[in-house]
Amino acid sequence: MRFVDEVRLTVASGSGADGCLSFLREKFRPRGGPDGGNGGAGGAVIVEATRQRNTLVDFRWNKVYRAENGQRGSGRLKAGRQGEDLTLYVPVGTVLTEYETGALVADLDEEGKQWILEGGRGGRGNATFKTSTNRTPRYFGEGKPGAEMALQLELKLLADVGLLGFPNAGKSTLISCISSAKPKIADYPFTTLVPNLGVVSLNPGQSFVVADIPGLVEGAAEGTGLGHTFLRHIERCGVFLHLVSPDDDEHTCVHRFKVIEDELRRYKEVLLERPRITVLTKVDLLSEEEIERQIEALKVVSGGNPVLAISSVTATGLLPLTSRAWNVLQERRAESVEESTENDAQEFGINVPKA
């Protein structure tokens, strides 16, 4: 299945139908009175997040989605049938924005979360206008038109840990070794053309989702290479593993590290506040002295973030890396819960003692 993470489409809810203007006429009921039924409401368009989808490819060809219109009311107080709702299922993590203005419409970041474009209301039949002083109303309510909106759908993958790095930094090999994901692996740049997700299991109850983001290059934030297409997918990651491949000259490693950090800053500076672990990969190709020298060089520029050395080929350092990622992820989750509690307490004027 082709990976599609961005589409534009138009959705339109159904229009409500008019009410009915009718009077009862029967042989033995000469004054049966008004009996026009109400018109049916138009169907709604419902966009719902589901884990049964992992791409927006279903919306690649059909660009317009319309719910059913309501049916007009009829005599004998018969209400018109309501239009059927139209439900569009999208992957969890899909963001809906208005195409013209870019305004946020909905962020469907949970299973079952919905955004609804309501249908038009049906018109009233003339029977509903009957009063003690108006026994024969000769008018009815018109149905309300449905709403129409041009939407931009963007999929932002929900992953706990994101793998960053230059092409051929070893991201695909790493995710294939620590999870059951099977990405394409080859010895040429830009092997990975779509993000890959894998689940890393440590102990019972200890697992997290890791995302392999296609390699970034210098200028990715401005559209260079492939990485700019997938930068949106790192926004939801709680922890970054910044993979740096080794080189004969440690200054080259430092340069690669700085380039990726700079791309994050230019894309969204807030991403630099996320916890990161710097990972020197492919250490099976280096001597002990070269490993030490390149780790020390990366520590200088990593801003206090931990620096670990691994080899996916020999499985060196993989368990310490995944354990460290799990611990950092737990710390971040705890901080998020504490921050959310403090915000709620401030909103309701409650004093929460510091631990």
Q: Are residues 123 and 194 in the same domain?
A: no
Please check whether residue 57 lies inside any domain of the structure.
yes
pTM of the complete model:
0.73
Q: Are residues 248 and 108 in the same domain?
A: no
Q: Are residues 167 and 125 in the same domain?
A: no
CA distances in angstroms from 128 to 17, 31, 71, listed in the order given: 15, 17, 17
Q: Which residue has the higher pLDDT, 196 or 224?
A: 196
Q: Is the pLDDT of residue 188 over 80?
A: no
Which of the listed residues 139, 156, 173 is the one where a domain comes to its end? 156
**Pair of tokens at residue 16:** 């409500």
| pLDDT digit string, tens, across residues 317-335 | 999 999 999 999 999 888 8
Look up the CATH number of the domain holding residue 198: 3.40.50.300
CA distances in angstroms from 217 to 77, 177, 261, listed in the order given: 68, 24, 11
- Burial state string for 181-197 with b = 16 or more CB within 10 A and e = fewer than 16: bebeeeeeeebbebbbb
Q: Where does the pLDDT of residue 343 fall: very low under 50, low under 70, confident under 90, or very high at 90 and above?
A: low
Please check whether residue 80 lies inside any domain of the structure.
yes
Q: Are residues 205 and 290 in the same domain?
A: yes
Domain that holds residue 147: 1-156
Q: Are residues 94 and 196 in the same domain?
A: no
Q: Which residue has the higher pLDDT, 224 or 2?
A: 2
Amino acid 349: pLDDT: 54
Q: Are residues 250 and 280 in the same domain?
A: yes
Q: Where does the pLDDT of residue 16 fall: very low under 50, low under 70, confident under 90, or very high at 90 and above?
A: very high
Q: Of 112, 113, 109, 107, nearest to 92 (Cα)?
A: 109
Q: Are residues 152 and 197 in the same domain?
A: no
Please check whether residue 145 lies inside any domain of the structure.
yes
Q: Are residues 305 and 192 in the same domain?
A: yes
* Diameter of the chain measured on Cα atoms: 108
Hey, which of 13-22, 45-54, 257-266 has the most confident mean pLDDT?
Answer: 13-22
- Distance between alpha carbon 30 and the CA centroid of its chain, in Å? 63
Amino acid 171: pLDDT: 87
Which of the listed residues 129, 156, 183 is the one where a domain comes to its end? 156
Q: Are residues 129 and 245 in the same domain?
A: no
Q: What integer is the mean pLDDT of 82-102?
A: 95
Q: Is the pLDDT of residue 13 over 60?
A: yes
| pLDDT digit string, tens, across residues 273-303 | 889 999 999 999 888 899 999 999 999 998 8
Q: What integer is the mean pLDDT of 198-221?
A: 75
